[in-house]
């Protein structure tokens, strides 16, 4: 059985029901999986979070749990997202509708686990969702891993951060009050343009902590220009490697905010 070491439950909000995988004890962290779904590296990341002393809530949003990554599988799930009403892949100043459901899950997780709040990490297609979740006071530790929406079809899209002006005002207030944001990207990743991080730095100031890993030509760690998934598929789990440092920072970030 896929993910047999996780408990599961069905969570319904506003008429939408999804399976949520749950593991661990301690403050809650909502893990929003990347394209194409809950791949083995995503499941392993969630296990690492649980081992670090947190309760992981990992909703199944698309794909087949534990199915390995492949180019056709990823392409198919991107195509599905592009036509789904729940994902607004080109929206510059608007969050995807599914973030309403995710905020409700964050509130449920906080009620169950207690503590000052919950952590939330989005990856790739869901990367910017952690930013949108900050509108809810329950979210205290938002992490944006390779935030890829909106798709960079124009200069304006490449600089956009996939939240409304109204939500951004709340996010800026919360960041200034101490609920800062952690963001990660590979520098040569075409899915996560530098302009997007420049917008986050400009809008959030000291409330945005950026981890930008050199993946350009001749980089010292031999990373390819196609490196994308910082703490999952492209993680090199070796002491001193920049992706391992990024993983360690995510776990310490959750600890600082939630424990």
- pLDDT score of 232: 98
Q: What percent of the chain has pLDDT over 90?
A: 98
**pLDDT at residue 1 greater than cutoff 70:** no
* Count of CB atoms situated within 10 Å of the CB of 178: 9
Residues 6+ apart with CB under 8 A from 141: 29, 117, 118, 119, 120, 179, 182, 253, 254, 256, 257, 258
Q: What is the mean pLDDT of residues 31-51?
A: 98
Q: What is the mean pLDDT of residues 32-59?
A: 98
Q: Which two tokens stand for residue 141?
A: 């530790």
Q: Is-contact 196 161, C-beta < 8 A?
A: yes
Q: What is the mean pLDDT of residues 153-162?
A: 97
Q: What is the pLDDT of residues 232-243, one digit of tens each?
A: 999 999 999 999
pTM across the whole model: 0.97
- pLDDT score of 47: 98
Residue labelled with tokens 């047999």:
4
Q: What is the mean pLDDT of residues 106-115?
A: 98
**pLDDT at residue 126 greater than cutoff 90:** yes
Q: What is the mean pLDDT of residues 151-168?
A: 97
- pLDDT score of 2: 74
- pLDDT score of 53: 98
> Which CATH code is given to the segment(s) 7-258?
3.40.50.1820
- pLDDT score of 199: 98
- pLDDT score of 119: 98
- pLDDT score of 51: 98
DSSP 3-state of 132: helix
Q: What is the mean pLDDT of residues 80-104?
A: 94
- pLDDT score of 138: 97
Summary mean pLDDT of the chain: 96
**pLDDT at residue 213 greater than cutoff 60:** yes
């Amino acid at each position: 059985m896929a993910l047999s070491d996780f408990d599961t439950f069905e969570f319904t909000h506003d008429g939408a029901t999804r399976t949520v995988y749950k593991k661990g004890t301690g403050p809650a962290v909502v893990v929003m999986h990347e394209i194409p779904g809950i791949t083995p590296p995503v499941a392993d990341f969630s296990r690492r979070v649980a081992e670090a002393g947190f309760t992981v809530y990992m909703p199944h949003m698309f794909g087949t749990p534990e199915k390995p990554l492949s180019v056709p599988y990823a392409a198919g799930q991107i195509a599905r997202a592009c036509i789904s009403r729940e994902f607004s892949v080109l929206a510059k100043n608007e969050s995807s509708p599914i973030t309403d459901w995710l905020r409700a899950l964050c509130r449920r997780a906080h009620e169950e686990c207690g503590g000052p709040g919950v952590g939330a990490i989005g990856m790739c297609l869901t990367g910017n969702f952690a930013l949108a979740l900050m509108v809810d006071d329950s979210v205290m530790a938002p992490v944006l891993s390779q935030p890829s929406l909106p798709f960079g079809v124009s200069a304006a899209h490449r600089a956009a951060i996939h939240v409304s002006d109204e939500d951004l005002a709340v996010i800026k207030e919360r960041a200034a009050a101490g609920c800062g944001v952690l963001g990660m990207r590979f520098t040569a990743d075409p899915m996560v343009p530098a302009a997007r991080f420049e917008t986050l730095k400009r809008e959030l100031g000291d409330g945005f902590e950026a981890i930008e890993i050199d993946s350009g030509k001749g980089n010292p760690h031999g990373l390819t220009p196609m490196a994308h998934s910082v703490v999952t598929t492209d993680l090199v789990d070796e002491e001193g490697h920049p992706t391992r440092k990024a993983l360690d920072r995510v776990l310490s970030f959750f600890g600082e905010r939630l424990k």
